[in-house]
Amino acid sequence: MNLKSLFRNTFAPQQKLEDEVVLKFLRVLEKAREDELSCSEMYARLDIFVETEVETKDASKIPALIREHLDMCSDCCEEYEALLAVLENTKVK
Amino acid sequence: MPTYNPSAQRSERTNEAWLTDLRESGDTHAEALNDLRAIIQKGLPYALSRWLPSDNPLFQPLVEEVTQETLLRVLDQLDTFEGRSLFTTWVHKIAIRIALTELRRKRWRDASLDELTENEDAPPPRGLLADPQASPETSAERADMLVRVRRILEEELTPKQREALVLLGLQDIPIEEAAKRMKTNRNALYKLLHDARLRLKRRLALEDLTAQDLLTAFEQK
């Protein structure tokens, strides 16, 4: 961390947390677990489990850890849905 | 019903053949690269359909850019492919990461793209404290609860965690874009938020509260 950002982080006035921010945070808090996947771990598994889902046509086969990360992380969830759309639409008819 | 048969994908190549051909030089390499280009471009309209319809004038330039970048990245990362999925699925995954990263960047940095994603805009969050249906007693109870939560947040969160919460909570900004603004990466920001959630959860437990208790209090009519 350089001096400028250290200064900014230390002395910047604290932003007020709006009600919406607090509530949005509370809504995901219940799902928080100690052993969550990181986005990189998620990305490493993405192709494998989406293939499995398309093959088995069964979203319930998605491991709980992955499902929970998808619930928490909108970016990973978008990538999951996009890959699912590609595989489902390009499979052999 | 169509069935999914990995061995009968459009491309006839096995995973091993893809790797071999792409590592070759000359015509074999060029042909494999062309086939891969076609596969990427066949998949992208489905990947992007939620964000950018294929008849949008920005669609084709984006596809070209993403395809080019994907091919470069695939060649660069060929040794990291573990063979646990189809090679083409792995390539689609890379293309999607590149395409959505670019779309998020455009969406959040280029106001002219806003019109493209109008239907993606989330409705404004409900102002629970200003609920006109709530009785004065309930409103007061909610206000007390919110004051208490806010105090806990102020005591527990680091400035960085607070900054992330504000960015992601108020603006519905993608994590990737928030990470760029905070001069960090998506993985680190997710971890920062994960730590914040666990810290808050433990603190609420210490105070004999759960997030559900608080939400219920807020949402009581």
- Domain boundary, last residue among B55, B89, B118: B118
> For position B220, what pLDDT does the model report?
63
Distance from CA of A3 to the nearest CA of B (A): 14
The CATH number for B83's domain is 1.10.1740.10
List the structure tokens of A31.
Answer: 């799902």
Q: Are B139 and B131 in contact (CB under 8 A)?
A: yes
- A81 and B50 in contact by Cβ < 8 A? yes
Task: Identify whether residues B82 and B143 lie together within a single domain.
Answer: no
Determine the distance from the C-alpha atom of residue A4 to the mean position of all C-alpha atoms in its chain, rounded to a whole number: 31
Q: Does residue B202 fall inside a structural domain? A: yes
Task: Identify whether residues B100 and B15 lie together within a single domain.
Answer: yes
**Which of A5, A19, A74 lies at the smallest CB-CB distance from B127?**
A19
Distance between CA B32 and CA B17 in Å, rounded? 9
Q: Does residue B129 fall inside a structural domain? A: no
Distance between CA B13 and CA B17 in Å, rounded? 5
- A30 and B212 in contact by Cβ < 8 A? yes
- B46 and A89 in contact by Cβ < 8 A? yes
Q: Does residue B5 fall inside a structural domain? A: no
Query: Which residues in chain A (13-32) have CB-CB distances under 8 A to chain B?
Result: 14-15, 17-30, 32
Task: Identify whether residues B21 and B92 lie together within a single domain.
Answer: yes
Which chain A residue lies closest to B175 (C-alpha atoms)? A75
Length of chain A, in residues? 93
- pLDDT tens for residues B40-53? 999 999 999 998 99
Task: Identify whether residues B105 and B153 lie together within a single domain.
Answer: no
Distance between CA B106 and CA B44 in Å, rounded? 17
Task: Identify whether residues B27 and B93 lie together within a single domain.
Answer: yes
- pLDDT tens for residues A49-67? 999 999 888 777 778 889 8
pLDDT tens, position by position, for chain A (93 residues)?
Answer: 454 554 444 444 455 677 778 877 888 787 788 888 899 999 999 999 999 999 888 777 778 889 889 988 889 999 999 999 999 999 865
Which chain A residue lies closest to B176 (C-alpha atoms)? A75
- pLDDT tens for residues B57-74? 999 999 999 999 999 999
Q: Does A36 touch chain B (CB under 8 A)?
A: yes
> For position A61, what pLDDT does the model report?
75
The backbone torsions φ and ψ at residue A25, rounded to the nearest 5 degrees and listed phi first, read -65, -45
Distance from CA of B208 to the nearest CA of A (A): 14
Among B146, B144, B39, smallest CA distance to B92 is for B39
Task: Sort out which chain B residues have CB atoms less than 8 A from A46's CB and list them.
Answer: 93
Owning domain of residue B162: 134-219
pLDDT tens, position by position, for chain B (221 residues)?
Answer: 444 444 444 458 999 999 999 999 999 999 999 999 999 999 999 999 998 999 999 999 999 999 999 999 999 999 999 999 999 999 999 999 999 999 988 877 654 344 444 444 444 434 433 444 556 666 777 777 778 888 888 888 898 898 888 888 766 788 888 898 899 999 999 999 889 988 888 888 888 888 887 887 766 64
Q: Does residue B123 fall inside a structural domain? A: no
- A40 and B153 in contact by Cβ < 8 A? no
**Which of A17, A51, A78 lies at the smallest CB-CB distance from B166?**
A17
Query: Could you count the other beta carbons within 10 Å of the beta carbon of residue B116?
Result: 18
The domain tally of chain B equals 2
Q: Does residue B60 fall inside a structural domain? A: yes
Which chain A residue lies closest to B95 (C-alpha atoms)? A83
